[in-house]
Structure 1
Amino acid sequence: MFSFSDENDFSGRRCVWVNGPVIVGAGPSGLAVSACLREQGIPFVVIERSDCIASLWKKRTYNRLKLHLPKKFCQLPKLPFPEEYPKYPTKKQFITYLENYAQKFDIKPQFNECVQSAKYDESCHLWRVVTVSTTGSTRSKTEYICQMLVVATGENAEGVVPEIDGLQEFSGEVIHVKDYNSGEKYNGQKVLVVGCGNSGMEISLDLSNHNAKPSIVVRSSVHVLPREIMGKSTFDLAMMLMKWLPLWLVDKLLLILAWFIFGNTQNYGIKRPSLGPLQLKNHHGKTPVLDIGALQKIRSGDITAVPGIKRFNCNSVELVNGETLEIDSVVLATGYRSNVPYWLQENDLFSKNGFPKTPFPNGWKGKHGLYASGFTRRGLAGVSADAIKIAQDIGEVWKEDLKNQKVPAHRRCISTF
């Protein structure tokens, strides 16, 4: 799979020749590409900055989390979910699925290695990926040299903490949603949830269920749809309708059904966007909220929807409508971002925001053997689609290289960890 050079280079770093691709990230995206490559017998190396696979799911998600879509839309290539799993697997079940997935396809990442830089060397037509160890007293470096690089760090690598006037003056607890586990410790507290996406809505519901008094900031318009309509997944229903109807008409039907179930959400402080939910997702990557009970709590007054924030004070927050709320804690459900621009040195495939420049479905491949997996803004279904295409393309290149003997014999699989 890969081998070590006999000596360290001049900077003291290890140098590792990799015969197949280097895959950065051991979340669902990296695991899916690895499994597809394993099926073809193509060697690879997976680099992961954490000490486990799927660290986002294991360490940065709240306890009550379940998959928002039915499991048939969330399984990775080559391995379906167990039949006994419910329609919407829990966080624990999904983690178990990923662990079994890694075991089945013998995926053994190089853990505790954070990529410092990745750059294509034009002189030798190879990628140079430099990592720094994240454990131990000394931060040793390793340089991986490869012909192909798969960026699989995903859309949610880093939590976004916005700059809000006065936030540093607030005396209560302020955490990002990635550090939220349960509403149990907030019993009786007035908690402001900043952000009204799926995470913000679900955390508000969890807080209310634990006898907290949550308020959720609805700064911009958002589509709220029922997770199921007449016992059928709303997403499943939309996919079925799109086989026969144009996108705009499917959007109209979904909004009519949502109105019958929820009424006019603007009456509760939630304004809908002008674009339909599917059009908005396709054009701007903004996912509609699939409601599992939060809206009913907003309608009953157990959760209060409030407009945008003007500024924070010591123990309160001023809103843009002039109201002031006394609060004890703040949860920032303000999303995540890609970290690709911090370490990948290239300007063709990725834009400054860390997403591919070319829109779906063609943003998975760049120049010089560079690939992007899991940046489609289409959840786990997009992850699987990317993995299959990337592995097929790498397979074709790999077979052609072997045929032309472009991979020197001394660099073929001679040692492994």
Structure 2
Amino acid sequence: MSTSTDPDSPDSAATFWRDGRPVYDRGDTVCVIGAGASGLTAIKNLKEHGFGVDCYERETSVGGAWNWRHDRSPVYASTHLISSKPLSQYPDFPMPDSWPDYPHHSQLLSYLERYADHFDLHPHIWFGTEVVRVEPAEGERWDVTTRSTGGYGAERTSRYAAVVVANGHNWSPKLPGYEGLDDFRGQIMHSSAYKDATQLRGKRVLVVGAGNTGCDIAVEAGQQAAKVWHSSRRGYWYAPKYLLGRPADQVGDQALALGLPLWLRQWLFQRMVRLTVGDLTRFGLPRPDHKPFETHLIVNSQLVYYVGHGAITPVPDIARFRSYSVELTDGSEIEPELVVFATGYLPRFEFLAPELLGTDSSGRPTLYLNTFPRRHPTLAVAGLLQSDSGIFPLTHWQTVMIARWLRLRETAPERAREIGARIEADAGRRWNPAKVKESTRHWFEVSHLDYLRAVQRTLDDLEVAR
């Protein structure tokens, strides 16, 4: 089995040709795209299962979204985890005990850097190299074309036994379309371009979007801006970061571990909100049009504080833009200098033909366990998850599953075909007991306990057949 990680080594001479260009055979090596949190754990777990790994990272260092130096990073100066430390760390690499319950983004970056050092992942990563195309080849293999980031230098195509896509899904901004937006004379920015509160200081600011990022930016604007409006289309459920003296997600995790039914957990959460946060409609925030856990919870202890102190004014959705003002759906009109669209992101796999991931007309891939497409068993996606807990533990076990699946195809092809039939039948299934809203923000929403149980069942099946 090939364990070389050097595509330029002498044993990687061109042995194939495709459309007049040379293709360099990488044997049984697996290609990982991206060296962020998901890509790093994919490299590590593939290594531990005996695979050679080449990882291509368009930036010059690890960390992905958590590396604020990267152009595509959505991180801003005050970013902290919204899931607590025990529910956010890799299961085989704990965060330091001295760290706070909700670590700062700089600590997360150092954590990922130490993870890469500890498991000796750097020799497998080609930095400053972007993937241009990933194309199917004979024998369920893949031709991966790369080039220097920025398009400099010649392209190079290498053939791999399998590909794991870990390029993240929080880097391509989703921008809304409103009547008159192009004629608006004020400043417009997406939250992906927001870096610190100096961008808000002394301005009249409209923050659009009531997700966790939108609420964080609204809170910072409440402290720095001259005037703040916070626009949301629907009401959401707001959870404090601490409950009964402990991080709230740990309290919720205990309720899951006890096996409480969904209806009871929803009732308990509503009761908790009434006791701790209260009725937010009295502040002007819209009433939720759904039950708890049917949308991603907003974890923020400060929004209500600043709304209650008059520093943030909740307003409804936007009807249209005018040259110097914004008309709202209730007929009122405001005059912001700066509009911040905290409207989320869309998944983008520019190097893959949409049909390879079963992508529908809206842009949503159809995958089994948010990982495997129906008809391409040597292609997988890591980290395409929106969880009610931290994502690192989920991607760890997800990539263990990918590695075992690829090994099973070699050692027990008959058993692999049986599991492949399950992948084809269950692709697109939602791993959440709640009726999650059908919006792009919730495409990849999973209940971490339900998802991990499903992954564990698949791991057991793969382990039995090894």
| Residue of structure 1 equivalent to 2:168 | 154
Q: 1:187-215: CA deviations, max 9, x gaps?
A: 22111111110000001111222244221
Q: 1:158-215: CA deviations, max 9, x gaps?
A: 1111222222222222111111111124222111111110000001111222244221
1:84 aligns with 2:108: no
Cα pair distance change 1:13/1:214, threshold 3 Å:
farther
- Deviation for aligned residue 1:234: 2.0
- Give the TM-score normalised by structure 2: 0.78
Higher relative contact order (CA 8 A, sep 6+): 1
Which amino acid in 2 is paired with 1:345?
A
Alignment match of 1:33 (pick from 31, 42, 45): 42
| Residue of structure 2 equivalent to 1:94 | 108
CA contact (8 A) 2:34 2:64 kept: no
Alignment of 1:326-337 (within 5 A): 326-337=335-346
1:58 aligns with 2:74: no
Moved more, 161-170 or 255-264: 161-170
1:323 aligns with 2:332: yes
| Residue of structure 1 equivalent to 2:234 | 220
1:201 aligns with 2:210: no
Cα pair distance change 1:292/1:144, threshold 3 Å:
farther
Cα pair distance change 1:185/1:364, threshold 3 Å:
closer
**1:158 aligned counterpart, secondary structure:** coil
Q: 1:235-281: CA deviations, max 9, x gaps?
A: 21122112231012101111111111121112223334343222x1x
Cα pair distance change 1:99/1:327, threshold 3 Å:
same
Unaligned runs of 5+ in 2: 414-466
- Deviation for aligned residue 1:95: 0.5
Which amino acid in 2 is paired with 1:40?
H
CA contact (8 A) 2:171 2:192 kept: no
Which amino acid in 2 is paired with 1:246?
P
| Residue of structure 2 equivalent to 1:117 | 133
- Deviation for aligned residue 1:374: 0.9
| Residue of structure 2 equivalent to 1:252 | 267
**2:26 aligned counterpart, secondary structure:** strand
Which amino acid in 2 is paired with 1:115?
V
CA contact (8 A) 2:13 2:25 kept: no
1:344 aligns with 2:352: yes
Alignment match of 2:317 (pick from 304, 308, 315): 308
1:141 aligns with 2:155: yes
| Residue of structure 2 equivalent to 1:73 | 87
CA contact (8 A) 2:212 2:298 kept: yes
Unaligned runs of 5+ in 1: 281-285, 402-417
Identity value in percent: 27
Q: 1:294-331: CA deviations, max 9, x gaps?
A: 12111221111110111122222111111111111111
Q: 1:336-395: CA deviations, max 9, x gaps?
A: 11102x322263644235554246xx2322333111211132241432331222233234
**1:238 aligned counterpart, secondary structure:** helix
Which amino acid in 2 is paired with 1:112?
G
- Deviation for aligned residue 1:400: 6.7
Rounded Cα–Cα distance in structure 2 between residues aligned with 1:320 and 1:389: 47
Rounded Cα–Cα distance in structure 2 between residues aligned with 1:272 and 1:230: 25
Which amino acid in 1 is paired with 2:265?
V
Which amino acid in 2 is paired with 1:54?
G
| Residue of structure 2 equivalent to 1:269 | 284
| Residue of structure 2 equivalent to 1:405 | none
| Residue of structure 1 equivalent to 2:184 | 170
**1:45 aligned counterpart, secondary structure:** strand
**2:386 aligned counterpart, secondary structure:** coil
**1:351 aligned counterpart, secondary structure:** coil
1:292 aligns with 2:301: yes
Rounded Cα–Cα distance in structure 2 between residues aligned with 1:398 and 1:44: 17
Rounded Cα–Cα distance in structure 2 between residues aligned with 1:394 and 1:334: 37
| Residue of structure 1 equivalent to 2:141 | 126
Cα pair distance change 1:151/1:259, threshold 3 Å:
same
**2:340 aligned counterpart, secondary structure:** strand
| Residue of structure 2 equivalent to 1:409 | none
Rounded Cα–Cα distance in structure 2 between residues aligned with 1:89 and 1:398: 41
Count of equivalent residues: 390
Rounded Cα–Cα distance in structure 2 between residues aligned with 1:260 and 1:92: 34
Cα pair distance change 1:203/1:11, threshold 3 Å:
farther
CA contact (8 A) 1:37 1:43 kept: yes
